[in-house]
């Protein structure tokens, strides 16, 4: 399939975004801030898969059937959707959220796209804090229950943690304490992104 270039022909800058356990870590809010302040495009693997299903394409039907059967969508399928989104976007800086979920995803992404992330942004939020936030949110989301949080936490430790450890060994992980209030978390985020922003403008 060959490497992926942004629409301007340059290799895009990619940052993988991770958080433990999903809802409640504040990851979505912080991604929105990064987009607004630093000009990144936020690509959510889950959103791309859902959009593909909604489009009614053959690919979308296949994805829907796999999800229904409780199977994991093959890496190649998600990577193709991410590649397409990068190439069609017009930007050259991307936050990729919800992918890679495991080591196999990570290896496939780097092999297919020939892109290694600039760094990995890891929102580290203790399980208890997320439980507290989710119970306080009470927005009626079906995934907002303790059982789901614990399950996600376990999946994270088994699947996603090895990816973070892989990049940690390369000095590419930027860990953020997501248990703090939103503004304080964004101060940490800004400290990570600001030198980059200055370099871009220089």
Give the pLDDT of residue 199.
Answer: 52
In three-state form (DSSP H/G/I as H, E/B as E, the rest C), the secondary structure along the chain is CCCCCCCCCCCCEEEEEEECCCCCCCHHHHHHHHHHHHCCEEEEHHHHHHHHHHCCCHHHHHHHHHHHCCCCCCHHHHHHHHHHHHHHHCCCEEEEECCCCCHHHHHHHHHHHCCCCCEEEEEECCHHHHHHHHHHHCCCCCCCCHHHHHHHHHHHHHHHHHHHHHHHHCCCEEEEECCCCHHHHHHHHHHHHHHHHHHHHC
Q: Which CATH number fits domain 13-44+92-194: 2.160.20.70, 3.20.20.70, 3.40.50.1820, 3.40.50.300?
A: 3.40.50.300
Rounded mean pLDDT, 48-69: 93
Is 106 known to sit in a ligand binding site?
Answer: no
Could you tell me the two tokens for 125? Answer: 């939020």
Is 11 known to sit in a ligand binding site?
Answer: no
Rounded mean pLDDT, 129-146: 64
Is 152 known to sit in a ligand binding site?
Answer: yes
Question: Which tops the pLDDT comparison, 143 or 202?
Answer: 143
CB 98 within 8 A of CB 109: no
Round to whole Å and give the CA distance between 66 and 73.
Answer: 6
Is 27 known to sit in a ligand binding site?
Answer: yes
**Would the pLDDT of 12 be above 80?**
yes
Give the pLDDT of residue 201.
Answer: 43
Is 63 known to sit in a ligand binding site?
Answer: no
Give the pLDDT of residue 26.
Answer: 79
CB 76 within 8 A of CB 83: no
**Would the pLDDT of 162 be above 80?**
yes
Phi, psi of 109 (to 5 degrees): -60, -50
Give the pLDDT of residue 23.
Answer: 57
CB 191 within 8 A of CB 139: no
Is 141 known to sit in a ligand binding site?
Answer: yes
Dihedral of alpha carbons 88, 93, 97, 99, sign: positive
Is 71 known to sit in a ligand binding site?
Answer: yes
Is 137 known to sit in a ligand binding site?
Answer: yes
Percent of the chain with pLDDT over 90: 56
Give the pLDDT of residue 200.
Answer: 47
Is 78 known to sit in a ligand binding site?
Answer: no
Is 98 known to sit in a ligand binding site?
Answer: yes
Every domain of the chain and the residues it spans: 13-44+92-194
Round to whole Å and give the CA distance between 121 and 15.
Answer: 7
Round to whole Å and give the CA distance between 5 and 92.
Answer: 8
* CB atoms inside a 10 Å sphere around CB 176: 24
Q: Against a cut of 0.85, is the pTM above it?
A: no
Rounded mean pLDDT, 91-104: 94
Is 50 known to sit in a ligand binding site?
Answer: yes
Is 26 known to sit in a ligand binding site?
Answer: yes
Is 105 known to sit in a ligand binding site?
Answer: yes
Is 24 known to sit in a ligand binding site?
Answer: yes
Question: What mean pLDDT, rounded, does the chain reach?
Answer: 85
Round to whole Å and give the CA distance between 119 and 3.
Answer: 19
Is 72 known to sit in a ligand binding site?
Answer: yes
Is 145 known to sit in a ligand binding site?
Answer: no
Round to whole Å and give the CA distance between 60 and 40.
Answer: 27
């Amino acid at each position: 399939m060959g490497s992926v270039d942004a629409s301007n022909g340059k290799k895009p800058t990619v940052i993988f975004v991770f958080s433990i356990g999903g809802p409640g870590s504040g990851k979505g809010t912080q991604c929105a801030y990064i987009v607004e302040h630093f000009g990144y495009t936020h690509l959510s693997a889950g959103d791309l898969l859902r959009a593909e299903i909604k489009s009614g394409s053959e690919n979308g039907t296949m994805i829907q059937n796999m999800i229904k059967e409780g199977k994991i969508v093959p890496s190649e399928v998600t990577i193709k959707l991410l590649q397409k989104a990068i190439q069609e976007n017009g930007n050259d800086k991307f936050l990729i959220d919800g992918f890679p979920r495991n080591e196999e995803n990570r290896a496939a992404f780097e092999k297919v796209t020939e892109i290694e992330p600039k760094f990995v942004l890891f929102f580290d939020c203790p399980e208890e804090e997320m439980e507290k936030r989710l119970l306080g949110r009470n927005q009626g989301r079906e995934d907002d229950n303790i059982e789901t949080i614990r399950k996600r936490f376990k999946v994270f430790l088994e699947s996603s943690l090895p990816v973070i450890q892989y990049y940690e060994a390369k000095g590419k992980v930027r860990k953020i304490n997501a248990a703090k209030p939103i503004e304080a978390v964004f101060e940490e985020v800004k400290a990570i992104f600001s030198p980059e922003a200055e370099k871009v403008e220089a």
